[in-house]
Structure 1
């Protein structure tokens, strides 16, 4: 039985695989992204939050998904677009499925552990999951929620000891 996000292995856009256990004790924002989505300007807000709080331990992980037909054809192209268009420096990962029979295991875990009224599926790009220092889902945020509106919750998670 999976108890926290640290039990998952993920793949960066360049093909490097790593365990989320490397991030143990750090709050994490996990977000499904799409560079051609109307919410793509949230990349800039996420990057600003990352720059402000990364020295406090916050990590942001972007997972591009083309399930809503708004992503480029490869993980590398998507990551490059994020860097060039929005200045993203937080890690971007390989394209993943966030719904359906091929759902990435990390996103299955996040959806299963969400008590959000948003439901058990991801309805659109830029659904954001805030994970606490213990690797537990703290809160799920809707795609339309501005990352700036997450700051109070981010600060709460950062203030909690490991």
Structure 2
């Protein structure tokens, strides 16, 4: 009887150890899936964009909308891009109508952003960023980190290898110390 009980205890403890190891790998990210950086976004300027094309560069991905109370952040996103582009930062604007605040067509979005804000940063066509129809990058972001944009102008900072450094809600301005300090840190890590 005691040998049978000891065997059961041994098997149970082995299963517990395996469970703990799996949980550790998931928590530390070693067993988690990678972000989808290869599925193309359609560019609002024509052609396609992939996050992997900017390998070795930090990327700030921002879901945007033209008719939002935060739309003036376009000006600061462009200023951020101008400040850091020579150091390697890419700012990718992803217009989305998921919150019902985008213009009716890609042509209108492009014209609005160029005329009103003078944008020349990379920009996608109108793209879903949440739910079942979300672009695969955003679906993988949700699975990897639990982050889904809750409103327009949510920001995701990726390091040069495509890892999520941090996410920022709409209220955090692109030029805030909270964001620029993270960008400075990522750029310093990449250069040194």
Instruction: Return the TM-score normalized by structure 2.
Output: 0.76
Alignment of 1:20-99 (within 5 A): 20-99=51-130
Does the aligned pair in 2 maintain the 1:113–1:137 contact within 8 Å?
no
Deviation string, structure 1 residues 2-48 (Cα, Å, up to 9, x no partner) = 52453232110134123332211110000000011000110111100
Alignment of 1:1-162 (within 5 A): 3-114=34-145, 120-149=147-176, 150-161=179-190
Structure with higher Rg: it is 2
Q: Which runs of 5+ in 2 are unaligned?
A: 1-31
Distance 1:121 1:37 in 2: 18
Instruction: Return the TM-score normalized by structure 1.
Output: 0.90
Distance 2:121 2:34 in 1: 25
Does the aligned pair in 1 maintain the 2:35–2:141 contact within 8 Å?
no
Does the aligned pair in 1 maintain the 2:62–2:156 contact within 8 Å?
yes
What's the Cα RMSD here?
A: 1.7
Higher helix share: 2
Does the aligned pair in 1 maintain the 2:34–2:144 contact within 8 Å?
no
Q: Which runs of 5+ in 1 are unaligned?
A: none
Deviation string, structure 1 residues 54-98 (Cα, Å, up to 9, x no partner) = 000000111100111110011221122111111111011111111
Distance 2:53 2:116 in 1: 28
Of 101-110 and 32-41, more deviation after overlay is shown by 101-110
